[in-house]
Amino acid sequence: MYGMVFVLGNMPAVVTPHHANGNINQYLRKNPSADLKLLLAGVASGLQYLHELSPPVSHGDLRGCNIFIGEQRTPILCNIGQSQMPTPPNWTIPSDDGARWMAPEVMDPCSTFGSESTTPMSDVYSFGMTMLELYTGSVPFPARRFYGGVILDVVRGIRPSRPSPDTCANLTDELWNTIQSCWVHDPSQRPTMKSVSLWLHLINRVEVASRFHV
């Protein structure tokens, strides 16, 4: 962040660097051979850093359009804490289509696992949905035109099906299992971002090592 300015009178605005590579979706479309697993490991490390601050900080709106790619081809988390608009009676209504990535306990805090705000564990859920988004090149629940239907599906425990290998060959069993563990309905049963980050970095190291032994 460079600083703050006031626009349109008294409206504050944050000045941030311009990322010529665009967000991660745009970057992957222009660079289809980019190492997505390595990029996701970087995103996981960024979330881990936020979650291990004191007090912990949750991103709150993780999805492809909020991950930019820097000059060094590394992911940069943007729009931290911009996701929600609390409304009575304690429901969080996404301000746009963000429900596709949002954890069930955030959209329905009246449930057993309810929470009136985003948490590190809701970020983990969003990370799983973001993984699916980036591997498929499509938003989660693409068949749902309106996000109201998405909210109902999510709070009922419905999750997207695994894409066909014909359309998503790079989504291995290891990665699919990681996605599923991230979007478990009970937030206490999800892995921490530290665990996810370590796992993704391990997968990357094993893959790199295997290339040298072929």
Catalytic-labelled residue, pool 35, 61, 123, 186? 61
* Neighbouring residues of 187: CB distance < 8 A, sequence distance ≥ 6: 103, 105, 113, 115, 119, 121, 122, 124, 125
Spatial contact of 93 and 177, defined as CB atoms under 8 Å apart: no
Active site residue 186: no
Distance CA 55, CA 71 (A): 30
Task: Take residue 209 and report the two structure tokens written for it.
Answer: 């090592």
H or E element, residue 132: helix 120-136
Task: Take residue 58 and report the two structure tokens written for it.
Answer: 């949750």
Catalytic residue positions, numbered: 61
